[in-house]
Amino acid sequence: MTSTESLTISELSACCTPIARAPMDATSAERLARSLKALADPARLRLLSIVASHEDAEACVCDLTEPLGLSQPTVSHHLKVLVDAGYLNRDKRGTWAYYSLTPNALDSVSGLLSNL
């Protein structure tokens, strides 16, 4: 499951040079735009941020609904977008699903945007 889900991000770091280094080709731009679209939502940024700042960068879905003040189906939808884009991993253990930050996913995107 995780292999296709995190494809976007791994493709990204494999394919692309930072945007300020050389003119970006159409395929790389499509890929980076797709990854950025998954991030470009306030609820998703807050979810990522809650997971990332949790102990061991992992959080139970039961800890993610209340802080955002959104319905559980809405939170589930946003979490699915983040998993599909490769930012989060989902692990079902017993009653609850646990979400953890995919190692290097945010840094891959950040590195492509950096102008340094």
Residues that bind its own copies (CB under 8 A): 19-24, 26, 29-30, 32-33, 36-37, 39-46, 48-50, 52-53, 57, 67, 101, 104, 106-107, 109-111, 113-116
- CB of residue 89 vs its own copies: minimum separation in angstroms? 14
- CB of residue 84 vs its own copies: minimum separation in angstroms? 15
Q: Choose between 54 and 90: whose C-beta lies nearer to its own copies.
A: 54
Residue in this structure with the two tokens 């989902």, named with its chain if needed = 90
Q: Choose between 49 and 74: whose C-beta lies nearer to its own copies.
A: 49
Residue positions counted in the chain: 116
- CB of residue 73 vs its own copies: minimum separation in angstroms? 20
Q: Choose between 46 and 90: whose C-beta lies nearer to its own copies.
A: 46
Decide if 102 contacts 10 (C-beta within 8 A). no
Decide if 14 contacts 108 (C-beta within 8 A). no
Structure tokens at 79: 């979490």
Residues 38-56 as b or e (16 or more Cβ within 10 Å = b): bbeeebbeebbeebeebee
